[in-house]
Amino acid sequence: MIREAIKEHAAFDACDLRIYAKGSYANNTNVKTDSDVDIAVQCRDVMYWDEAKPGIHTSTSPYQGIWTPTKLRSELQNALVKKFPGQVDTSGSTAFRIHSGSARVDADVVPCFNYRYYFASGGRDGAKVFKKDGFSLINYPDQQLANGRDKNNRTGKNYKKTVRIMKRVENAMVLDGKHREVPSFFVECLVYHCPDDIFSRSTWTDVVRGVINHIYHGLDGAEPSDASQRWLEVSECKWLFQPGQAWTRADGRAFAQATWTYLGLTS
């Protein structure tokens, strides 16, 4: 339906757009309580980029076309409002929320652009998202999808099941007033960092116990100075803990401790 909305909007006729699901729904780690789907509308007419060291990338002429962040957001809003009258919430700083209506789930639609980070030996492709306030963020949805699938295959399909278990526990704790809400993506990243062998334990209780133990003890203390000891997001393209993130090591540790207590686990 979102593809149809964009196809029917004449302003996008000459714009190269990639439209795809991302996040927990695409990665099959969503749970019923958090069942909205994230949809990216990525403009491929523009490439934003950064480089590991100055001079690695020789820039082409600056883009001179019409597709600025403001223009893309404005036209996407027009297309969605026309297709889903009375269902589009435009108040968010980043995404447009489409309330489900006749569809099965709500959708968060995010306008973004092609992005590449250049290394001396190549580059890494992602998506650059501009918020209403002008601030931006970089995502790597393709790498997240691939790494999640690989880990799930390595663990006999138990990794994603464990992510869903931990998300359900988080939802239950919030509902019961036992813990504050924890971002779904953060939970997924915490579980992803756990060693593969934990997911092959004989019972789900043992798996969950091992996951919580690893998170709690692994996040003790300050962020390591040794890069090899730092935790990564599922994409393995960004540090999990860095300035500007919506969470800290202490938040991860508090979540693990609260989960252990809530489930009544013992050593």
- How many CB atoms sit inside 10 A of residue 221's CB? 9
Quick one: 97 and 42 in the same domain? yes
- Show the tokens assigned to 251: 């938040």
Confidence at 3, pLDDT banded by 50, 70, 90: very high
| CB contact at 8 A, 83 and 48 | no
User: Do 115 and 54 sit in the same domain of this protein?
Assistant: yes
Same domain for 7 and 122, yes or no, is yes
Say yes or no: 163 and 70 in one domain. Answer: no
Residue 54 confidence (pLDDT): 85
Rounded CA-CA distance 130/137 in Å is: 7
Point out the domain boundary residue: 112, 139, 166.
139
pLDDT at 185: 93
Residues 150 and 252 in one domain: yes
* Distance of alpha carbon 146 from alpha carbon 197, whole angstroms: 20
Residues 212 and 116 in one domain: no
Number of domains in the chain: 2
Same domain, 190 and 115: no
Short-list 153, 159, 147, CA closest to 201: 159
Q: Where does the chain show beta strands of DSSP type E?
A: 17-22, 37-51, 88-89, 96-98, 107-119, 122-130, 136-139
Co-location of 191 and 152 in the same domain: yes
Which of 86, 109, 139 is the endpoint of a domain?
A: 139
Same structural domain for residues 102 and 203? Answer: no
Going by the DSSP 8-state scheme, the letter that residue 63 receives in this structure is P
Phi, psi of 36 (to 5 degrees): -70, 150
Element (H, E) at 164: helix 158-175
| 31 shares a domain with 46 | yes
The model's pLDDT over 128-157, given as tens digits with 9 standing for 90+, comes to 999 999 899 999 999 999 999 999 999 999
> What is the CATH number for 66?
3.30.460
Report phi then psi at 176, rounded to 5. Answer: -85, 0
- Looking at the structure, tell me whether residues 171 and 119 fall in a common domain: no
Q: Could you list the residue range(s) of the whole structural domain that residue 88 is in?
A: 2-139
Q: What is the mean pLDDT of the chain?
A: 92
With CA atoms as reference, report the closest residue to 106 among 95, 114, 98, 117.
98
Instruction: Count CA atoms closer than 13 A to 218's CA, side-chain side.
Output: 21
Select from 107, 139, 171 the last residue of a domain.
139
Q: Are 166 and 174 in contact (CB under 8 A)?
A: no
Query: What digits encode the pLDDT tens for the residues 164-223?
Result: 999 999 999 999 999 999 999 999 999 999 999 999 999 999 999 999 999 999 999 999
Pair (201, 82) in one structural domain: no
pLDDT value of residue 63: 81
Please state the separation of Cα 85 from the chain's center in Å: 28
Q: In the structure, what pLDDT confidence band is assigned to residue 101 with cuts at 50, 70 and 90? A: low
| Model pLDDT, residue 182 | 96
Are 58 and 116 in contact by the 8 Å Cβ rule? The answer is: no
